[in-house]
Structure 1
Amino acid sequence: MREKKAMTQIDRRTEKLTTALRRAGVRITRQRAALLSVLAEAEDHPEAIELQRRAEAVVPGISLSTVYRTLTELEHQGVILRHQFEGTPARFEHSEARHHDHMIDVETGEVIEFANDRIEALQAEIAEAMGYEIVHHRLELYVRRKRAPGDPD
């Protein structure tokens, strides 16, 4: 009896992204398949241009317009999230990720994910005190590293 190869998290993500596009009637070309693979592997918050660069390294010939159309459809299907951080191009991440918030380093553009139970509880407490319940929220903190006294600017 042959054993089935266990699916990795990346395989599951790729399958989920592929299924979402097919459900929307989008044809899976070699270029799109490369993009979906790159998206599935991404653990950061890449911009569309960065996703195109990564996919081009795998299968040449993917246009930026194809990347944008594919990302838009994947967002409509609810399998990726678009983040529009202040002053930067849109960035993308998997929608399967556990809820988290973001800190954006204003000097480097680095996006740092974090989760904090105290913040979540405080937000719920504030909404409750005002007669509401939270349906959805997004917290973005724009930060810069502290400089020690005497550090150059």
Structure 2
Amino acid sequence: MKKVISDVGEKLRAKESKLTTRRELVLKVLLENNGKHLSAEEVYNLVKLRAPDVGLATVYRTLELFQEFDLIQTIDFGDGRKRYEFGPEAGENHHHHHLICIKCGSIIEVNEDLLEELENRVSKKHNFTVTDHQLKIFGVCEQCKKPK
């Protein structure tokens, strides 16, 4: 984690920005909860446990900054809230895909690139350069299908 924090600090400094203490707290929360797809409010609540004086606006601004610097990925699972996770720079690797339970809201990651062939066809047919994609599949998870 220290290496990632150091790398993020360097990337921010290279573009005349700083990794402040508050920004570092937001980064640590994202790293410690990797794969959990946290909303801004969830990030805020976790940061507040460590620094009660941090405001929600600070968390939002930090998430926007991290997104602008391609440090985090954002995704909307259809619940009206953006979700954030620390991830590769946009276009560097394809984003993983998600299965979303319509009953309990659980999110299951699928770490397979299922759309490579489609991307190639679309790119050739429309002379379009694909840089990334997201696939969200909605349904009912194993837990919700179990009889009660």
For this structure pair, what is the TM-score category when the shorter chain's length is used for normalisation? 0.7 to 0.9
SS in structure 1 opposite 2:38?
coil
Given the alignment of the two structures, is residue 67 of structure 1 paired with residue 63 of structure 2, yes or no? no
Q: Is the 8 A contact 1:24 1:73 kept in 2?
A: no
1:120 corresponds to: 115
Aligned positions of 1:64-103 closer than 5 A: 64-96=56-88, 99=94, 100-103=96-99
In the alignment, the residues of structure 2 paired with residue 18 and residue 109 of structure 1 have an alpha-carbon distance, to the nearest angstrom, of 34
In the alignment, the residues of structure 1 paired with residue 98 and residue 128 of structure 2 have an alpha-carbon distance, to the nearest angstrom, of 22
Q: Is the 8 A contact 1:74 1:80 kept in 2?
A: yes
Q: Is the 8 A contact 1:48 1:91 kept in 2?
A: yes
**Where in structure 1 do 4 or more consecutive aligned residues deviate above 6 Å?**
none
Q: CA deviation at 1:132?
A: 4.8
Q: Is the 8 A contact 1:17 1:74 kept in 2?
A: no
1:140 corresponds to: 136
Name the % identity: 24
Given the alignment of the two structures, is residue 17 of structure 1 paired with residue 12 of structure 2, yes or no? no
Gaps of 5+ in 1: 1-9
Please identify, of 13-22 and 69-78, the stretch whose mean Cα deviation from structure 2 is larger.
13-22
Gaps of 5+ in 2: none
- 1:54 corresponds to which of 42, 46, 49: 46
SS in structure 2 opposite 1:102?
strand
Q: Is the 8 A contact 1:16 1:79 kept in 2?
A: no
Q: How many residues align?
A: 139
SS in structure 1 opposite 2:134?
coil
Q: Is the 8 A contact 1:20 1:79 kept in 2?
A: no
Larger radius of gyration: 1
Q: CA deviation at 1:81?
A: 0.9
Paired letter, 1:86 = G
In the alignment, the residues of structure 1 paired with residue 104 and residue 80 of structure 2 have an alpha-carbon distance, to the nearest angstrom, of 11
